[in-house]
Amino acid sequence: MKPLTNGFGFMLVFDEKAKHDWFRTRVIRALFPNKEVVNGYVSWYKQMTQQLVKENSYKISGIPGTRVDIVRNVINLAAVHWASDWLMGTPLKTKNHPIGLFTEQEMYDVLMLLCTCVFINVLPERGFFLKDQAQIFGDKVNSLIEKSIEACRLPRQRYVILRCIYIKKDHLTYLQSVFSHVASKASSFLFAQEEKACYPFLRRLAEIGIARGEMVSQVIGLSVGSSVNWAQSISQMVDFYLDDARAAERAEIVKLVQRDDAEAIELLHGYIREGQRLAPQFPGLLRQAAVTDTVDLGDGRKVDVRAGDLIFSSFYNAQHNETDFPEPNKVNPRRPKESYQNQGSGFHICPGVDFTLMTATEVVKIIFKLPNIRRAPGAAGTMASYTIQQVPGTDNRMYLDNTSKETPWPGSLTVVYDDA
């Protein structure tokens, strides 16, 4: 994370409590200031997912059903738009906006590279190349974020000028409105200023009073930590419930997504948490021991670690323990929600747990409402992958991308649905 942030870092790498908490409280408040803003993001996710399904669905002449690559063209791109539109303000090149800088897929690749470098850069023989590439693209993204931060302040200056004039002449309503109109035209002509979705967040971030470079670090940190990992988690969950082995659960989910009552939503949340638990986004988290110590595993076992040791804490094993999850391999949407630690725990616990649940619910609703949704026949309908055991006891799923290169990130899964 440090090379991506000019050495400054982000809450995820701040181990000093006071510094970590100072940033975490303020940055997360800037992102999620109130319920209204959060609900706005969630309805945007719903609308964006619907739009992406519509835009990317296609038919093959003579073959029944409509197809869509639900991972490559829907879930992954929703995550890219989230980071680009709502956090960084990086202009994407789309059909409706052809003058953007990166295509959606290019931006996915950049975020994937940065996320790999931050979270799964463990093999030294690959680390140098990964860091090098991440630095090159990180610098470019950072300079775009910096431009957004600069631009987001302009409307505020305009507002301040106009407000001074309002105070002096508050009885001249008509004159004010004429002046306001002319001033706003002149201002948009001079500054070519377009209000972007991310500006309110960036303005709230600016109010914290940190330096420009530190602001950039918070934005890139949040973008990397809430986009491709979100997409991976949702993709693996959808894939999990599309398996034949989960036909009964899928039938239940298909019924639940038609309902909007509290009981249905609660059960849907249960299925999402179970999908995250049984097909975890990361197989585990890596830490480097700062000091020599003994770690209590909580079940009577203890492990001695020396300073510098690399520690792998297995999500998979933790989420399969029989004490917290009786019959751990069974999908049970009624397990207590307090049992889960799908997005970390303790000091660095993910602040996006509730947000992920809310957005995932909308995405799952749209996907499982597609009539008679099923996998496309053949390779297109699977997330081509194999499992390796880099760490004893925990399977790690690796995918093949469209050039047959191995990658930890799921890239494609085509589904078919009937015409409504």
What is the contact surface with ligand HEM in residues (CB under 6 A)? 11-12, 24, 31, 222, 225-226, 229-230, 233, 281, 285, 343-344, 348, 350-352, 355-356
SS3 388: strand
And the tokens for 105?
A: 């897929």
CB of 194 to ligand HEM, least distance (A): 25
Indicate the residue among 222 and 415 with the shorter CB distance to ligand HEM. Answer: 222
| C-alpha to C-alpha distance for 293 and 289, rounded to whole angstroms | 8
For 189-231, give the DSSP string.
HHH-----TTHHHHHHHHTT---HHHHHHHHHHHHHHSSHHHH
Rg (CA), the chain: 23
Smallest gap from residue 20 Cβ to ligand HEM (A): 6
- In Å, what is the CA distance from 46 to each residue of 39, 43, 74, 75, 79? 11, 5, 11, 11, 12
Residue with smaller CB distance to ligand HEM, 230 or 417: 230
Task: Report in angstroms how near the CB of residue 356 gets to ligand HEM at its nearest.
Answer: 4
Q: Please state, in angstroms and rounded to a whole number, the distance separating the CA atoms of residues 10 and 145.
A: 15
Nearer to ligand HEM, 29 or 93 (CB): 29
CB of residue 9 vs ligand HEM: minimum separation in angstroms?
10
Find the residue with minimal CB distance to ligand HEM: 352
Q: Which CB, 272 or 416, lies closer to ligand HEM?
A: 272
- Classify residue 52 by burial, with Cβ atoms within 10 Å: 0-12, 13-18, 19+: buried
Tokens 């890596």 belong to 286
User: Smallest distance, Å, CB 346 to ligand HEM?
Assistant: 7
By C-beta, is 10 or 417 nearer to ligand HEM? 10
Residue 410 Cβ vs ligand HEM, minimum distance, rounded to whole Å: 13
Shortest reach from residue 359's CB to ligand HEM, in Å: 7
Which one-letter amino acid corresponds to residue 262?
A
Please give the structure tokens belonging to residue 283.
Answer: 């197989």
**At 336, which amino acid appears?**
P
Nearer to ligand HEM (CB atom), residue 73 or residue 217: 217
Residues 255/267, Cβ–Cβ less than 8 Å: no
Nearer to ligand HEM, 24 or 158 (CB): 24
Give the H or E element holding residue 166: helix 154-168
